[in-house]
Amino acid sequence: MKYPPFITIEGVDKAGKTTLMNLLNKHQDLIHWNGKRIVFTREPGGTDNVKAEKLRTFILGNEFDNLTQAYLFAASRNEHVMHTIRPNLSLGNIVVCDRFIDSSYVYQGLVGGLGVDVIQEINKYALHDIIPAITIVLVISPEESVKRLKEVTNPKEINVFDENVYLRNADKIHDGFIQLKKLFPKRIHLVDGTNDPKDILLNVVQIINEYIEEHE
Ligand code: TMP
């Protein structure tokens, strides 16, 4: 395979993205990749990307108009693509990212009202033509998501964004991800986030391995 796949993990808050990322990291050997490494990162921000992480704190900790948010997420994405994602893909490393452009499509585009086309336009230069090869959307009900967010998170850790955007729109955000599957049917894979984490891992590993085999 010429280029390593860029893989993104998406879904409503508390859908189990972090658990899946950790399991993938722990069981990297299951992925049939003869390249060099598998790199795990996240948005907004980016693992080992100090500037992008600073932007994360700023974006999630303040109240902004939806259009401002869309630009801020795109700005942070530009830093992340330029300094973390693209260099690693060029080195032959698979990159797995917790959230990416689809979160902007759903949160700022479909729910915030800008629409998918405007988000595409705003992100045109930030993406540098880096589009996910595989996107896993973990699906849990909005009710379960809100319950988990309130139960699991220390109230002090619920940020301005969670309060102002997520908790007010959980239903629409859930529906937005389902709608995205219709727009990008080949790239997006809906995976039941209520299944046992080990089964989710095996399901996702199979999707990744099939993609690698198909593109060899
Ligand atoms: P996280 O809690 O999953 O790390 O994500 C932080 C929040 O940022 C989450 O509620 C989704 C939101 N978000 C957007 O609204 N647009 C984006 O483009 C990204 C990457 C995240």
The per-residue pLDDT for range 42-62, each reduced to its tens digit, is 999 998 889 889 999 999 999
Residues 77-116: pLDDT tens digits?
Answer: 999 999 999 999 999 999 999 999 999 999 999 999 999 9
The confidence band for 150, taking pLDDT boundaries of 50, 70 and 90, is: confident
Q: Ligand 1 centroid to 99 CA: how many Å? A: 7
Q: Could you tell me which residues come within 8 angstroms of residue 154 by beta carbon, excluding any fewer than 6 positions away? A: none
pTM over 0.85: yes
Residue 141 to residue 72: CA distance in whole angstroms: 28
Residue 164 has pLDDT above 80, yes or no: no
Which residue, 13, 10, 9, is CA-closest to 171?
13
Distance 27 CA to ligand 1 centre (A): 26
Q: Which ligand 1 atom is the nearest neighbour of the CA of 45? A: 20
DSSP, residue by residue, 116-153: HHHHHHHHHHHHTT---SEEEEEE--HHHHHHHHHHHS
From 18, 107, 127, 163, mutation site for ligand 1 pocket: most ligand atoms within 8 A of C-beta? 107
pLDDT at 69 over 90: yes
- pLDDT on residue 1: 63
| Residue 95 to residue 39: CA distance in whole angstroms | 5
| Atom number, ligand 1, closest to the C-alpha of residue 101 | 18
DSSP at 93: -
Output the ligand 1 site: residues, CB below 6 A. Answer: 13, 43-44, 60, 73, 99, 103-104, 107-108, 161, 166
Q: What is the pLDDT of residues 188-204, one digit of tens each?
A: 999 999 999 999 999 99
At 157 the pLDDT is 77
Write down the pLDDT at residue 111.
96
Cβ distance 181 to 137 under 8 Å? yes
Look up residue 72 and give its two tokens: 């801020």
Residue 203 makes CB contacts below 8 A (sequence gap 6+) with 191, 195
Ligand 1 atom at minimum distance from 43 CA: 20
Q: Whose CA is nearest to atom 15 of ligand 1?
A: 107
Position in ligand 1 atom list of the atom nearest CA 100: 20
What is the per-residue pLDDT across 1-48, written as a single tens digit (0 to 9) for each? 668 999 999 999 999 999 999 999 999 999 999 877 999 999 999 988
